């Protein structure tokens, strides 16, 4: 049986777990997700000038509440919806000043379309989920697979998300 190049590429990408990806770190260097193998990871595309920006505080609280149990919260600032500051440095300063963020953050990253980061292309190809706005959430279980996807209106400390996080933490 012959497969087209695109079919083979899709099969390879859909078989990748979270740990196959790296992101640029807002502090320089990279976030190599192999370091989080076996952990539960919540990946959130964020923006500094969005109506949902106050979720940063709840994401920090979520991170502090569950990090000792194995949760990583990764903020992925994105300008895809034209609500992000111009530079990673500005984003980092804004988040530190207004929310006291200590959770890991990537540099400004595209999350949709042809320029989307490979992680977001993988999520779209494996689940059909594409961020429709800022503060969309992708929960990755300790096995490196997508455990759930959530829209911007899902509150970081709401029961829908915390229940699934606790379930995934119990699997690690």
**Which domains are assigned to the chain?**
38-171 (3.40.30.10)
Question: For 132-162, how does the pLDDT look when each residue is reduced to its tens digit (9 = 90+)?
Answer: 999 999 999 999 999 999 999 999 999 999 9
Two tokens at 131? 């961020």
Question: How do the residues of the chain divide into helix, strand and coil, expressed in percent and rounded to 5?
Answer: 40, 20, 40
Give the separation between CA 28 and CA 152, rounded to whole angstroms. Answer: 27
What is the reported pLDDT for 139? 97
Per-residue pLDDT for the chain (172 aa), expressed as one digit of tens each? 444 444 434 434 444 556 689 999 999 999 998 899 999 999 999 999 999 999 999 999 999 999 999 999 999 999 999 999 999 999 999 999 999 999 999 999 999 999 999 999 999 999 999 999 999 999 999 999 999 999 999 999 999 999 999 999 998 6
Count of other CB atoms within 10 angstroms of residue 84: 23
What's the whole-model pTM score? 0.89
Nearest CA-CA partner of 161 in 171, 172, 147 = 147
Tell me which residue of 4, 75, 10 sits closest to 43, measured CA to CA.
75
**What was the pLDDT predicted at 172?**
63
Q: What is the pLDDT of residue 171?
A: 80
Residue 57 CA to residue 163 CA, distance in Å, equals 19
- Which pLDDT belongs to residue 145? 92
Q: How far is CA 16 from CA 33, 34, 85, 125, 131, in A?
A: 12, 12, 31, 11, 20
Write down the pLDDT at residue 13.
43
Catalytically active residues are 50
**pLDDT, position 16:** 53
């Amino acid at each position: 049986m012959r497969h087209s190049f695109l079919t083979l590429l899709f099969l390879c990408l859909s078989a990748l777990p979270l740990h196959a990806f790296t992101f640029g770190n807002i502090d320089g260097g990279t976030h190599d997700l192999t370091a989080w193998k076996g952990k539960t990871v919540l990946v959130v595309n964020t923006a500094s000038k969005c109506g949902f920006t106050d979720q940063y505080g709840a994401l920090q609280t979520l991170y502090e509440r569950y990090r000792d149990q194995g949760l990583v919260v990764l903020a992925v600032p994105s300008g895809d919806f034209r609500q992000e500051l111009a530079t990673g440095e500005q984003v980092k300063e804004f988040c530190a000043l207004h929310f006291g963020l200590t959770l890991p953050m990537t540099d400004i990253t595209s999350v949709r379309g042809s320029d989307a980061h490979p992680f977001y292309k993988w999520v779209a190809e494996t689940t059909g989920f594409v961020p429709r706005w800022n503060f969309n959430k992708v929960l990755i279980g300790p096995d490196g697979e997508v455990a759930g996807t959530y829209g911007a209106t899902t509150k970081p400390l709401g029961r829908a998300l915390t229940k699934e996080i606790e379930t995934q933490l119990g699997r690690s």
